[in-house]
Structure 1
Amino acid sequence: MRASLITLVTLSLALLSVAEPLLSPINVHEKRNSIPRGWSLTRRHDTASVLPLRFALKQRNIEDIGTYLYDISHPKSPNYGQHWTAGEISRKFAPSDESLSAVQDWLIENGMERERIKVSPTKGWIQVDATVEEAERLMNTEYNVYTHQTGQEHVACEAYHLPEHISPHVDFVLPSVHFDAKLTRRSGDDGRASNIGQPGVGIKPKTTGAVTETVSEIEQCNEYITPVCLRALYGLEYEPVATEKNSYGIVEYTPEAYLKSDLEMFAMNYSQDLLGKEPYQISIDGGYQQMEYQGFDYNGEPDLDLQYGMTLVTGKQQVTLYQAGDMVEGASFNNFLDAIDGTYCTFEGGDDYTQDSKYPDYSPGGYAGPEDCGTVKPAYVISTSYGYDEADLTPFYAERQCAEYAKLGLMGVTILYSSGDDGVAGNDDYCLNPNGTQTADGTMFDPSFPGTCPYVTSVGATMMKPNASVYDAQPEMACMEVIYSGGGFSNYFAMPEYQKEAVDYYLQTYPPDYPATMWNSTGMSRAFPDIAANGANYVVAVDGEFELVYGTSCSSPVSGAIFTMINDARLAVGKGPIGFINPTIYSAEFAGLFNDITEGTNPGCGTDGFNATIGWDPVTGLGTPNFPKLLAKWLTLP
């Protein structure tokens, strides 16, 4: 079933849909029981003001999207690997013509001229600009202005009604009872999701500075990670043969950009088959390789992602760089998703321009071209080393985006995200408070996003044990040097069926000794990460010198490269890509095919966090990839 929001502590909204007697010509469609914490009723809204009323039409079958995805992703399913086309997805979830006609006719009957009624290209959304007076009469409601303790205002109502014959066709109406207004929760941070590429925002790699000695590689992997170390750790000895059929995508967000000179410097020392080669760049909403600002904050992430991602798939396999956002507006994950799936541009109302960048951008230096919407073909594997805290985003925003990852999975795309670098805490060691805010002295665990979405694969971090050799039986532990592997339990999303057995075993066998007020201890929420890979002591060329780099930002592109090579082997024998891997890797058929990590913790919020244990755990997931075992098993699947 579709990922559902979990009502937890004060982090979720209290909404209740109440129906009046069937004989009534109108029904209460949505009703709010109370004003959310921090808000107060200020005044009645001016009846002459104009509201952009938006009616989200019922998406057919959307509640079953998880079931559809599971059906083509579980190795025991007779439909395994039978991925859908974009057209099939659009037709499956598009609202019916009956819903569209019913709502349009109702609006016209109530005095809304046809020219005022706008329908989204996917027919999922109807908008009409109406005065407050018209809206109140239309839905038998009253609109008020509410003010947050921060000073931000929001328009909402206590409840609204829809006619009995219209209610089955409408999912929800905005603005209405919802308080999905994004608040600034951190001092000096405007909270926009499109700030993800700015220095210091979200998940970022860390550095301890320059490497001051010549690295002799395999003998020093416990101190310096280079490509040869990763190949030895995970058995990645493979030369791709189906490169024309395969694809690997890495996403970066302007102003962060790689330097060609750094890529050349790395290739000369560690990957000579990359000499003279660059990724194939696709610009999204004006994205480009800016060189005005340089330094680790601007070049560290892209340099890391591309140097290791490109090296591990070898110079034979082209890597696609998705560079998103101009220098003025930047971009959010939603802007990127718009580009690779045109239906997402208007899905459930489209982007939130309090969060996402809007194009054309007519600011000086901005990208004045049209918004990229369905202009880019997604790669088979897409790795992103950026991320938010789940609480940075509203539940509605997060669930809408999560549904899009499910659609990409249906198309056969593997989506990887870093799990975070601050253990059970959020980015920059912020933790949650009971009122939903995030502060440095908060005490509640603060999970990341999109890693908590059930339809992505969340990647945690490991490190070499002190004095260990890559040839040891168990050379790695959870990363506890400079960064801690992000992991824990979602406050927004329910536990998917595919991980229930593994997570139940963990909770019953190794129950965390923390009060329920500190973490989501219900046993019913999405747990993360799913897997892990090394995330410490990477030797990376940044701004003309080699630096030591740490983070789950390392783990995600390395894992993506490994899955890309598995796709190569399958494509070479006429099979399809592995697509959404989570139901497969959690299945009994894949038990023991990852290197189990059983040492270390992921501290945060004044605690030691969770423990790495035998089996799945909320520190390193199922463990690190064992390429030969995974490849052999995936080749047996249809």
Structure 2
Amino acid sequence: MAPLRAPTMIAAVLSLLSCMQPSFVAAGPVARRSDIIVKDYHKAPRFWSNLGPAPSEHLIHLTVGLSQGRFDELERHLYEVSDPAHARYGKHLSADEVNELVAPTDEASAAVLEWLEEYGIDTEDLTYSPAKDWVSIRLPVSTVEDLLNTEYSVWEHRDGSTVVRTEGYSLPNYVHKHISTIQPTNSWARLEGHKQRKEVMKRSVLNKRTSHALEAADTWGPPSTFPPPDNSTIYAACNFTHVTPLCLRTLYGTIDYEVKAAGVNKMGHTNYLEEGKYTPKPGSGCPESPSTNRSDISQFLGLYRPEAQQYAYEFDAISIAGGVIDNGTNVASEARDREANLGKSSVLRNLSLSQQHPFSVLHAEYMIGIGYPTPLIAYHTGGRNPTYMPDILTTDNSDEPFLVWAQYMAGLPDSEVPQVISTSYGDDEQTVSRAYAQAVCNQFAQLGARGVSLFFSSGDFGVGQDETCISNIDNTTAMFMPSFPADCPYVTAVGATTGYPESAAWRRLSSGLYFNSGAGFANYFEQPSYQAKAVDAYVAGLGGLYDGLYNKSGRAYPDISAIGQLFPVIWNGTTLNLVGTSGSSPIAAAVFALLNDALIAEGRPPVGFLNPWLYKWGHILFTDVTNGSSAGCNTSGFPATEGWDAVTGWGTPYLPKLLEAFGVDK
């Protein structure tokens, strides 16, 4: 069905909502203060068109973030418990200790409640996060517009997806300092999933400022064939055009490890955007069905990890905010089903042009394939970030999935939170408001302080997808495109490699698209101290290459890497070969899940937030990757070098080295 245009869409929505809305505003006169000041403004990025005012009765699940009382102290705790040279290393905080640190001050809580009451909102209807640093309430657009002194519109992306958003909002002066962000307002991210990929990509020079350094841009590429492995064991286990769990377990040294702490130790992965939901073609006769297709996973494990085959029907799948989960059916989806089957990233499948779909899938099959019998938990978070009509039809709102998921995790007791969690979703940083990005990143810091290792795919277009590397501030300035949340300083970003010896992943697909290991430097987040020495040395070694196209003082990524092509995946009983950092992240997470297993079995804490340990001395345990580049933005991108680089980070993990370094038994 073609997307509705503004008048038709708005009329249809109004008819749906005409008799279903309760009253959310208190009766009686309301006395209000003046001094309304702009709190946040984030211009709609390119490719979004304003279709007109949002229906006044459209429901929005408004979430208000209160300024966290002692976040600086939480960050200090996070770095201390994650620093191997600190006396507190490994002494992670409990959920209660974290909540105490991020709880808003009494002054902040009182000011926000006064503000809501001032605008006639019944504060008895509010819901709170465990630390009371987030308050939420469902309100119609008309009430939210009054509250935020703004106007919401229906916006349509050129790919047909629609959102209800405003470019900016204002608050009374007295409440400004007490609020960090309010959502959904002016974040435009679609979690890569709705992005359309152009069919023709050129490796031309981006602009004259970089042309002197890009003479090889049109011809650059890794060797067409990889040198034969000099390790006969890896050679016997691996075919690098079809990288199976056996190959990965051999390559990263997990094959002989015996799990000892299954149940106490856990691993998790995330799905968003109703990726678990299959909607069949009209007239196909197929029923609507969730995905994470357990029958496909069972078939995959039967081929590549037979002892784990039954576990395909046993691992936990948790629905958050209405996220769709599996019912065990084996109904084929054209797209979303095969994505959520194993997690999703902005990655590309190595299929024929007629089959090409811009995502890869690699979570459940490969996390179980490597980490079994460590329990897996799959989190399916609802809210399509946001797809407009489905939200209306379910009287739901335009949720912000990262934030919704992180708030859910913050409310779990420590015993229910996996020690490693992999996510293969990401946005262009500039499509997310700075306030929203900071709020989400701060939530990740809370999990890190509790001993959770968060792995995020670094992306699949190097420093940015060709022909799209333009700042949305003026729509003219050329720039490399950092990816969020990979650029958050409190997560571990995972790049992609290929072949043996490994080099940075690079592949031209039959569609004409290029897959490259994602890399970059944040514009929103400053360089954390733990990576300053390594990153500054790398930047200095570039000798001015790409000056002006990236933020030298920003948080740099990726941190580590793992194989990112080509993976066999069972989909509807058929084997597909896939590529992408969507595979790299869960593979790395599963390796560290096994390290945690060894530590926990000996009564020791899990490794938790990796990066301070990694950059201080953990990197010496990784296999350095020195070939390749993070090509993108019509350039050859950042080069791989010895030591840390903005392509593969510190390289790839090897479990026996990690076990030996931590002094634990196999």
Instruction: Name the TM-score, length of structure 1 as normaliser.
Output: 0.71
Match of 1:266 among 266, 285, 300: 300
Would the aligned equivalents of 1:288 and 1:323 in 2 still touch at CA under 8 Å?
Answer: no
User: Cα distance, 1:167 vs. partner?
Assistant: 6.8
**CA deviation vs aligned residue, 1:65-108 (integer Å, no higher than 9, x gap):** 33221111010111111111112111211112344345656887
Match of 2:186 in 1: 181
Q: 1:244 aligns with which of 260, 263, 266?
A: 263
1:477 is matched with which residue: 499, 503, 527?
503
1:609 to 626, 637, 641: 637
Q: Which runs of 5+ in 2 are unaligned?
A: 1-32, 49-59, 199-233, 279-290, 343-360, 385-389, 392-398, 509-514
Which residues in structure 2 correspond to 1:369-380 (within 5 Å)? 377-380=416-419
In the alignment, what sits opposite 2:395? Answer: none
Paired AA for residue 622 in structure 1: W
Number of equivalent positions: 530
Q: How far apart are 1:453 and its partner, in Å? A: 0.8
**Corresponding residue to 2:67 among 30, 35, 58:** 58
**Does 2:429 match 1:424?**
no
Q: 3-state SS of the aligned residue for 1:526?
A: strand
Q: What does residue 454 of structure 2 align with?
A: 415
After superposition, the Cα gap between the structure-2 partners of 1:438 and 1:275, relative to the gap in structure 1 and judged at 3 Å, is farther
- Matched letter for residue 539 of structure 2: L
Q: 1:338 aligns with which of 407, 416, 431?
A: 407
Q: 1:324 to 1:105 in 2, by over 3 A?
A: closer
Determine which of 605, 629, 635 is the counterpart of 2:657.
629
* Aligned-partner SS, 1:533: strand
Letter in 2 for 1:320: I
In 2, the alpha carbon distance for the partners of 1:304 and 1:32 equals 37
CA contact (8 A) 2:371 2:594 kept: yes
Question: Which secondary structure does the structure 1 equivalent of 2:435 belong to?
Answer: helix
CA distance in structure 2 between the aligned counterparts of 1:420 and 1:246, rounded to whole angstroms: 28
Check 1:52–1:461 CA distance in 2 against 1; reply closer, same or farther (3 A cut): closer
Per-residue deviation at 1:443? 4.5
What are the superposed Cα offsets for residues 341-387 of structure 1, whole Å, 9 maximum, x if unpaired? 239xxxxxxxxxxxxxxxxxxxxxxxxxxxxxx89932111112222
Instruction: Report 1:375-414 matches (<5 A).
Output: 377-414=416-453
Q: Which stretch of the first structure deviates more once superposed, 537-546 or 250-259?
A: 250-259
Q: Check whether the contact 1:180–1:396 (CA below 8 A) recurs between aligned residues.
A: no
Per the TM alignment, residue 269 of structure 1 is displaced from its structure 2 partner at its CA by: 2.7
1:557 aligned to 2:557?
A: no
Matching residue within 371, 376, 389 for 1:319: 376
The 8 Å contact of residues 309 and 558 in structure 1, kept in 2 or not, is answered as yes
| Alignment-derived partner of residue 464 in structure 1 | 499
C-alpha distance in 1 between matches for 2:330 and 2:400 = 18
Q: Give, as a single letter, the amino acid of the residue that structure 1 aligns with 2:471.
A: P
Counterpart check, 1:598 vs 2:630: no
Instruction: Give the CA deviation at 1:54.
Output: 8.6
Comparing 265-274 with 51-60, greater Cα deviation is found at 51-60
Write out per-residue CA displacement over residues 109-167 of structure 1, whole angstroms, 9 at most, x where no aligned residue: x7x6795676542443678999999999x99xx8789999999997788976645xx77
SS across alignment from 1:70 = helix
1:45 alignment partner in structure 2 = none
* Residues 279-301 of structure 1 deviation map (CA, whole Å, 9 limit, x = unaligned): 51223124235654435653255
Once structures 1 and 2 are overlaid, which stretch shifts more, 453-462 or 391-400? 391-400
> 1:478·1:619 contact (CA, 8 Å) conserved in 2?
yes
The code of the aligned residue for 1:287 comes to I
Counterpart-to-counterpart distance in 2, 1:241 and 1:160: 54
Amino acid at match of 1:181: N
5 Å matches for 1:278-297?
278=312, 279-284=314-319, 285=322, 286-289=324-327, 291-295=330-334
Instruction: State the shift of 1:400 in Å.
Output: 1.3
Equivalent residue for 1:435, pick from 472, 476, 479: 472
Q: Which residue of 2 aligns with 1:209?
A: none
Displacement, 1:435? 3.2
**Structure 1 match to 2:526:** 494
Tell me the alpha carbon deviations over residues 282-333 of structure 1, each in whole angstroms, 9 at most, x when there is no partner: 231242356544356532551632222112123x322222233389569833
Residue 218 (structure 1) aligns with: 236
Cα deviation digits, residues 425-453 of structure 1 (max 9, x gap): 14xx56332334889xx953212221111
CA distance in 1, matches of 2:66, 2:528: 26
8 Å contact from structure 2 (residues 187, 436) kept in 1: no
Higher deviation after alignment, 245-254 or 283-292: 283-292
* Deviation string, structure 1 residues 605-632 (Cα, Å, up to 9, x no partner): 1100110001111100010002111222
2:18 alignment partner in structure 1: none
What secondary structure does 1:323 align onto?
strand
Partners in 1 of 2:414 and 2:664 — Cα distance?
A: 35
1:395, CA displacement in angstroms?
1.7
Structure 1 CA distance for aligned equivalents of residues 571 and 176 of structure 2: 57
Deviation at 1:274, TM superposition (A): 1.5
How far apart, in 2, do the equivalents of 1:133 and 1:227 lie? 53
Correspondence for 1:582 among 611, 627, 630: 611
Q: Distance in 1 between matches of 2:567 and 2:154?
A: 48
SS of corresponding position for 1:383: strand
The one-letter code matched in structure 1 to 2:469 is: L
Q: 1:487 to 1:161 in 2, by over 3 A?
A: same
1:100 aligns with 2:109: yes
Query: Does the CA-based 8 Å contact 1:386-1:417 persist in structure 2?
Result: yes
SS of 2:521's partner is strand
Residue 553 of structure 2 is aligned to residue 524 of structure 1: yes
- Structure 1 residue 574 displacement after superposition: 0.6
- What corresponds to 1:509 in structure 2? 541
Does residue 232 (structure 1) correspond to residue 250 (structure 2)? The answer is: yes
State the distance in 1 between where 2:141 and 2:276 align.
39
Distance in 1 of aligned mates of 2:378 and 2:164: 39
1:157 and 1:323 mapped to 2: Cα distance? 30
Flag structure 1 segments of 5+ consecutive residues without an equivalent: 1-24, 40-50, 184-190, 203-215, 344-373, 466-474
Contact 1:533 1:559 in 2 (8 A): yes
Residues 607-616 or 87-96, more deviating: 87-96
Moved more, 125-134 or 385-394: 125-134
Change (3 A) 1:556 1:56: closer
Q: 1:233 to 1:116 in 2, by over 3 A?
A: closer
C-alpha separation in 1, matches of 2:338 and 2:152: 44
Partner SS state of residue 563, structure 1: helix
Kindly indicate whether the alpha-carbon contact (under 8 Å) linking 2:268 and 2:378 is maintained by their aligned counterparts in 1: yes
**CA–CA distance in structure 1, aligned partners of residues 425 and 99 of structure 2:** 28
Residue 460 of structure 1: CA displacement? Answer: 0.4
Q: Is the 8 A contact 2:457 2:486 kept in 1?
A: yes
Provide the rounded CA distance (Å) in 2 between the counterparts of 1:33 and 1:259: 41
Counterpart in the other structure of 1:82: 91
Question: For the Cα contact (< 8 Å) 2:456–2:486, is it kept in 1?
Answer: yes
Tell me which amino acid in the other structure corresponds to 2:463.
Answer: V
CA distance in 2, matches of 1:62, 1:83: 16
